[in-house]
Amino acid sequence: MAERMVMRKSLEATVEPALVVDACPAAILVVMNEAVVFMNPSAQELLGLDFLPGHALLSVQALTVPQEQAVMRQWLTSVREGSRDPITVRVPLSDGRLAHVRFSAQPLQGDRCGALVLVAIDVTDTERVRQQLQRLAFVDPLTDLPNRFLVLDRLTATLRRASRYHTSFAVLMIDLDGFKSVNDKFGHDAGDLVLRVVSQRLLTAVRESDTVARLGGDEFVVLLDPDRDEIASQIAGRIIEQVGRPIEVANQHVNIGASIGIASFPREGDTVDELLTKADMAMYASKSKGKGRWSIFDAPLRERMSRDKTFVLWIPGHTVGVAVIDSQHEELSALINALAVAIADGVDAAAVRSQVAALASYANFHFDTEEQLMDEHKVPLAAAHKREHRRLREELKVIDRNIEQQGLSLTLASLKDWFVNHTRQSDDALGRALNLRGVR
C-alpha cells in the first residue's frame, strides 16, 4: 500500500494531467454554460473540428444535426440533475458524412460552475447494424413492405389515437386470386416477381397516409387512416383494378386478381384482433362470391356466419386426390374455421390455446397417417417430407407459445399460413406420388 502511494505521488509530480488527457485515445470534451470549452485531440479528430483556445466558443448543441439539438439540450439538463444515461445523436462531420455518436457525461468534480465532462464514442457501425436488424424484424425482405409485426404495431397505435379522438379507420384484408397457379406453372422466382409487382401496384392505389403491409404468402393488409365508407370502397375498387392488370412473366402475360374484405373501427370492432379477423372473414366472403370483389363485414355477413358457420380460412376444393388425406385436410380446415369464429366471438387467449392444442393433436395424427402411407407405398423423397412434418410440428409449438405475445388475430394468420403452405406445397407432390401407385 505504501509503495503504491509513493508511485502515485511520483507520477503526479512528473506527469501533467493535461498531457494524459491529450494522449487519451477516447474523445473528451468539457462543456460549461452550454458551450464547449475544451476538446482533446481525439475529440477534434472524431468530430472533424479544430479547437483553438481563445477563438469563439462552440455551442454544444451545434455538434448535432438541427433536428436533435433540442434533445441534446434536454439531455444536458438531465445530466446536471443527476442522470448518467448516455445519448446517441447524429453528428455532421467536416467531410459531409453523418456519424452516430454516443455521448456520456458527468459533472466535473470540484467545479462550482456546472462544468460537464463528456466522452464521445463513434457508434456509426453499431447503429448501422442495429438499423439493419430492426429492418429485418419489421420489413418484409421480398417486397420492402412492412411485415405483420410492424403493421400490428401501427394498427395498435392507430386504434389508440382513434379511440381518443373519436375518429374512424378501416382495415382491408387482401388475398390474391390465381397466384398459386402462376407459382405452380412458372416456379417460385416468378411468384416472387408477381408479389413484388403487386406490392408496387398496391402502393399506387392507396393514399400517402395509408399503410400497405404483407402478412405472408399472397396475403396483404391495408390500413386506411382516416376513413369513411366511400373511401374504403373506392380504394378497394382501385386495388382490384390495379392488381388485375396483366403481369409479364417469362415472356407471357398472366392475370392475378384480388379478393378484399373490409372492417372499420369502431363499427365492426374496437380491438385489433377483432378488426383483422372480421376483415379476413369479409375477404373470404368475397372469394365465395366469385373472387375479384370486395366485401364489408356488415350485419348480413355476421348473421350468415353465425347461422351456418360457412366462413373458412382455407377455401375447400383443393384436394390432392387421396381420400384419407383430403378428409383430414377438411377436418384441419374445420378446426381452424372454428377457431376463427371463436376469436370473432371474443374468446380469450386461454380458450384459443385450448383450440390450438386440439388442432396440434389432430395435425400430429394427420402427419402420422401420411408417413404410414409413404412407408407402405415406398414414396420417393419420403425423408424430405418427414423433415417437413417435423418443421411443421415445431411451428405449431412456436405458434402456441406466442399466442399472448402476437395476439389472437396474428395467431390465426400464422395458423392459416402454416396450413395452406402444408396442403398446397408438400401434399400436392405426395398426392401425385401416391396416385401413381394406385392410391386414391
Domain final residue, candidates 310, 328, 355: 310
State whether 386 and 347 are in the same domain.
Answer: yes
Quote the pTM value.
0.58
State whether 287 and 385 are in the same domain.
Answer: no
Residue 112: pLDDT band with limits 50, 70, 90 = low
The per-residue pLDDT for range 232-253, each reduced to its tens digit, is: 999 999 999 999 999 999 889 9
CATH number at residue 321: 1.20.120.50
As given in the structure block, the three cell numbers for residue 222 are: 391495408
CATH number at residue 63: 3.30.450.20
Residue 7 lies in a domain: no
Q: Who wins on pLDDT, 60 or 220?
A: 220
pLDDT value at 307 more than 70: no
Q: What pLDDT, on a 0 to 100 scale, did the predictor assign at position 197?
A: 96
The per-residue pLDDT for range 388-413, each reduced to its tens digit, is: 888 888 878 877 777 766 666 667 66
State whether 206 and 326 are in the same domain.
Answer: no
Residue 169: pLDDT band with limits 50, 70, 90 = very high
State whether 153 and 301 are in the same domain.
Answer: yes
Percent of the chain beyond pLDDT 70? 84
Residue 6 lies in a domain: no
Q: What pLDDT, on a 0 to 100 scale, did the predictor assign at position 18?
A: 61
Q: Who wins on pLDDT, 109 or 367?
A: 367
State whether 112 and 153 are in the same domain.
Answer: no
Q: What pLDDT, on a 0 to 100 scale, did the predictor assign at position 200?
A: 96
State whether 224 and 288 are in the same domain.
Answer: yes
Residue 1 lies in a domain: no
State whether 99 and 124 are in the same domain.
Answer: yes
Residue 49 lies in a domain: yes
Mean per-residue pLDDT for 212-227? 88
Residue 144: pLDDT band with limits 50, 70, 90 = very high
pLDDT value at 435 more than 90: no
State whether 91 and 143 are in the same domain.
Answer: no
State whether 237 and 287 are in the same domain.
Answer: yes
Residue 178 lies in a domain: yes
**Least reliable range by pLDDT among 130-134, 200-204, 315-319, 404-408:** 315-319
State whether 270 and 317 are in the same domain.
Answer: no
Domain final residue, candidates 131, 156, 180: 131
Q: What pLDDT, on a 0 to 100 scale, did the predictor assign at position 260?
A: 95
Residue 379 lies in a domain: yes
CATH number at residue 209: 3.30.70.270
Mean model confidence pLDDT for the chain: 82
Residue 180: pLDDT band with limits 50, 70, 90 = confident
The per-residue pLDDT for range 268-299, each reduced to its tens digit, is: 888 887 888 888 888 888 887 887 899 988 76
Q: Which domain holds residue 149?
A: 139-310
Q: What pLDDT, on a 0 to 100 scale, did the predictor assign at position 316?
A: 45
Q: What pLDDT, on a 0 to 100 scale, did the predictor assign at position 88?
A: 93
Number of structural domains found in the chain:
3
Q: Who wins on pLDDT, 354 or 425?
A: 354
pLDDT value at 437 more than 90: no
State whether 303 and 332 are in the same domain.
Answer: no
State whether 100 and 168 are in the same domain.
Answer: no
pLDDT value at 4 more than 60: no
The per-residue pLDDT for range 325-375, each reduced to its tens digit, is: 888 888 888 888 777 777 766 777 788 788 888 888 998 999 999 999 999
Residue 142: pLDDT band with limits 50, 70, 90 = very high
**Least reliable range by pLDDT among 16-25, 136-145, 175-184, 229-238:** 16-25
Domain final residue, candidates 310, 326, 350: 310
